[in-house]
Chains A and B, each alone.
Chain A
Amino acid sequence: MLFNSLGFLYGFLPSIYLVFWRFAGKTQRWMTLAIGGYVFYSFWNYKFLVLMLFSTGVSYLAGLALLRWQDPGLRRWCVAGSVGADLAVLGFFKYGNFMAGNINAVTSWLGGRASLPILDIVLPVGISFYTFHTITYVIDAYRGAITPTRNLFKYAAYVSMFPQLVAGPIVRYRQIEQDFENVDRAHETANADTGWSFFVVGLVEKVLIADTIASIIDPALARYSELSTVDAWLCVVGFAYQVYFDFAGYSDMAVGLGHLFGFRIPQNFNSPYKSTDIADMWRRWHISLSSFFRDYVYIPLGGSRGGRLLTYRNLMLTMLLCGLWHGASWIYVTFGAYQGVLLILTSTFRGTWERLPLAARRIGTFGVWVVGLAIFRSSGFPMAGAMFQKMFTWHAGTAVVGGTVLVGMLTVAAGIAHFGPNSFEMHHRWSPGWVGAIAIVFGLCLFMLYGSRPAPYLYFQF
């Protein structure tokens, strides 16, 4: 079930909203959220509820053990066991076939005959996100950053809270623990205005901007070999805005839904296209993921504490893993490597770069980001190679159908992304005139939802 679907807007959301606010007690509200999250998830595939239940159960028990055990050795084993179990499930479902395929390829290349079976595995939606929720919980408990909860419903509600369940943001327990604790004191109407404001902003970003751009560039990219140089650039730049408004829109809807239930989900996109270098970009883009990799991979590897070469190694390893997180494919690993190289170059030439005018740095940062997205959007290396060839050598070709609308949409999208305020910079207190205008735009979104099948979010596949 998607946030941008009529079933969600007319069925699930009103139901859980009414039940949630009908209850006054903490435990009742935690239970409502936990059960609601499981119901929400079951609309995709109820069989995978077992995985979420397993991940929740293991990390909950690990939290209880960490509360009780003070012996460092035991605590380490506890964390290793819990995180290992989580990663094993994630690894099997997300990377099992990828690893088997690569082992088979290498074995065959070496002249061997071993062949691991390629299984018919369906990737459970959201597994990368809720697994990271549980991992951060256990590690933070181990580090003493949080006090694990003894209440199973509270913890289950945290893992399965539907606004953040299937595509993030990866909200850490410490970021939202206070809201869980005060859930019985949350005020319905006080949160509703802000919540709906965030939600409508997100819906507009997703339905009107991202989906419209996608409707033009997706058919064009499906025939990428026919693209001209201009159209190849239009498509890649279009994808840059599509992926931004798609995921930022989803995140804003998640934040809005969180507000409707009294939760302040943290910001996930802080105007990334205003970045002045790639490091800045990663501080602003998918903040919950990049900060996860910073805090749980880069810093434990040594961060920037071990000299230049070690820092470069850590940056590269972190970005390779970040790339791999996006999908079990070498194309994503390549995307991660590209970002790693850019971060190393940024670190090396920071002084020179910072002497450039602000506009040049922003344009340059956006430019290299767009080039990286050409890799990210490609279905494989042949497509990536063809796209680069199209982009960097002159090619004539057929024009993109809907090119005029695309240019118009890109102009609007660029204006908002590069110059406009992001949703957290808005005050969300609208005058009656603005409320009317927002209602009209929301009505337009509803019209689009009625007229076409809701488009899934790009980040669901990750």
Chain B
Amino acid sequence: MGRERTHRPVWRLGRVIPCLLAVVFLVDIVSRVPSIDPLTFRAWEALSRNRPPGAAFEPNRHYVNPWAYGDLASFGNLPELRQYRTEVFTTDALGFRNPPHVLGGEVNAILLGDSFAVGSGVSDDETLSSRLTRLTGCVVYNAGSDQGRVVPNEVLALARRLNMRNRLVMRLYAEDAAVPPMPTRRERVLWELEARMPARLRALIGRLRGLVAVGPLRVLSGRAVKALEDDKILPNRYAGYVVNATLDNGDPMLFQASEVNNFYRRREVRLDYWKWLRDTLRPARFDLLVVLVPSKYTVYRPFLVDHRPGPGAGADYLDRLERDLRTAGIPVLNLTPFLSAEAARYLQHDRYLYLLDDIHWDPRGIALAAEAIREQWPLADAPCSTTLSRAVEKP
């Protein structure tokens, strides 16, 4: 006597929906394995996906995108304002944006900072470190990363791995970046652990993190939904992230909404991070130079057709920070007056120092900043072995 078997139809919701979920889940997982480069609009997303702990980007990558465009055009879902350009982005074996050969040679200075230091939106030969290296003849190592990771421990660890001739650290601070926080004890322990991890393990962690964090299905469906949210079929819900302003010459320029708000909000100047950074680097005989980069809105606000009247409460933030840093004895260079004056001059010829569709500066702005840094701290006049402390002693 066999067991009585009841036939349940195959095509029933209790089976079809879980199967559909399982299939989509599997497709999602499998689609995460290949590179997502073809789905990215710029290098940052592609190369930070599989970033190992302690690195800024995926090591040993060479990314080329002839159709890269600005982050603001992307964040604000404004395809008509994209400015297409070619972006070449190369990372070294340590996961920072440098030509691979830099690691084999002598390094004179380390450039720290966020995406402005990295050179988001420009190609390898247009970054600040490349410009400074060309201008001065001294190799500047680009250790730019996302802002939370600029910590002395990493600098020191990096310096041990580089062939450092000079002991100079340039810390680029962009106006709209949050005041860098003091790392917590937990973070310091984690960084210590990361630093001691074998390279293979770190690469594996980076890869796994990338697989979990980014999925092509999400990217593709996100794009499809964004295409519907074009302010015609559906409202563009991303429009609030950016401010679309018009310059005196009629050109549209995008700003991040938060940078506009920052301009009108008084921000407290805090020096604890900067002092801690200097004091932690000093025992290892590193000199620190802080370079302050104004936001695009600070530079271009006077040239906008409909800018809000009156001075912004946060307009003098970098000036106050510069003053306080000087008082604390920390060498500082504020690029605000210089870039503002140059922006006005170039605008007469319809040329810009910042990318129209991006938060960041453009190759021209970076080149001018490099000139300003060189003038303020004449690396070229002194041999690369000269330290900052000796250089600033010069009359």
Contacts and interface: CB of A to CB of B under 8 A. Distances in A.
Contacts of B1: none
Interface of B: 8-9, 11-18, 20-21, 24-25, 215, 217-218, 220-226, 229, 231-237
Contacts of B224: 447, 451
Given A442-B20, A450-B222, A405 B25 contact: no
Given A189-B8, A405-B233, A442-B20, A196 B225 contact: no
10 contacts: A192-B15, A193-B12, A215-B235, A401-B231, A401-B232, A435-B11, A446-B20, A446-B24, A451-B218, A451-B225
B218 A215 contact: no
Interface in A429-458: 430, 432, 435-436, 438-439, 442-443, 446-448, 450-452
Contacts of B220: 450
Given A195-B14, A196-B14, A439-B16, A402 B235 contact: yes
A360 interface: no
Given A451-B218, A451-B221, A452-B222, A215 B237 contact: yes
Nearest to B24: A446
A219 B12 contact: no
A-B interface, 8 closest residue pairs, ranked by CB to CB distance from nearest: A192-B14, A451-B221, A451-B225, A432-B11, A450-B221, A193-B14, A401-B235, A196-B13
Contact of B16 (A435, A450, A452): A435
Interface of B is mostly: helix
Contact of A438 (B13, B15, B237): B13
Contacts of B11: 432, 435-436
Nearest to A203: B17
A405 B237 CA distance: 15
A436 to B, nearest CB: 7
Contacts of B225: 448, 451-452
Given A189-B8, A451-B225, 8 more contacts: A189-B14, A215-B234, A219-B237, A402-B232, A436-B16, A438-B16, A451-B221, A451-B224
A216 B21 contact: no
Nearest to A431: B11
B325 to A, nearest CB: 32
Contact of A402 (B14, B215, B234): B234
Contacts of A200: 13, 17
B13 A405 contact: no
A197 interface: yes
A216 B235 contact: yes
Contacts of A193: 12-14
B21 A9 contact: yes
A196 B20 CA distance: 12
Interface string A190-216: 011101110110000000000010011
A443 B221 CA distance: 12
Contacts of A402: 232-235
Contact of B25 (A10, A191, A220, A436): A10
Contacts of B13: 192-193, 196-197, 200, 430, 435, 438-439
A7 to B, nearest CB: 11
Nearest to A13: B21
A401 B25 CA distance: 34
Contact of A450 (B9, B217, B229, B233): B217
Interface of A: 9-10, 189, 191-193, 195-197, 199-200, 212, 215-216, 219-220, 401-402, 405, 430, 432, 435-436, 438-439, 442-443, 446-448, 450-452
Contacts of A195: 14
Contacts of B8: 189
The listed residue with most B CB atoms (<10 A of its CB), out of A196, A197, A200, A212, is: A196
B229 A215 contact: yes
Contacts of A212: 234
B112 to A, nearest CB: 32
Given A189-B8, A219-B235, A443 B20 contact: yes
A435 B234 contact: no
A189 B215 CA distance: 32
Contacts of B236: 401
B105 to A, nearest CB: 46
B28 to A, nearest CB: 8
A442 B237 contact: no
Contacts of A401: 231-232, 234-236
A216 B234 contact: yes
A197 B226 CA distance: 29
Contacts of B223: 451
B221 A196 contact: no
Contacts of A219: 235, 237
The listed residue with most A CB atoms (<10 A of its CB), out of B221, B222, B224, is: B221
A311 B226 CA distance: 53
Contacts of B217: 450
A212 B225 CA distance: 11
Nearest to B8: A189
B4 to A, nearest CB: 16
Contacts of A216: 234-235
A199 B21 CA distance: 13
Nearest to A219: B235
B27 to A, nearest CB: 11
A189 B285 CA distance: 71
Contacts of B14: 189, 191-193, 195-196
Contacts of B221: 447-448, 450-451
A262 B177 CA distance: 52
B17 A196 contact: yes
Given A436-B11, A439-B16, A451-B225, A10 B21 contact: yes
Given A196-B13, A450-B218, A451-B224, A439 B235 contact: no
A442 B15 CA distance: 13
A396 B9 CA distance: 58
Given A193-B14, A450-B221, A452-B225, A405 B21 contact: no
Contacts of B24: 443, 446
B363 to A, nearest CB: 34
B234 A442 contact: no
A4 to B, nearest CB: 13
Contacts of B218: 450-451
The listed residue with most A CB atoms (<10 A of its CB), out of B24, B25, B222, B235, is: B235
Nearest to B20: A439
A294 B15 CA distance: 41
Nearest to B222: A451
A17 B229 CA distance: 36
A286 B123 CA distance: 58
The listed residue with most A CB atoms (<10 A of its CB), out of B15, B21, B220, is: B21
Contacts of B234: 212, 215-216, 401-402, 405
Contacts of A196: 13-14, 17-18
A203 to B, nearest CB: 10
B354 to A, nearest CB: 28
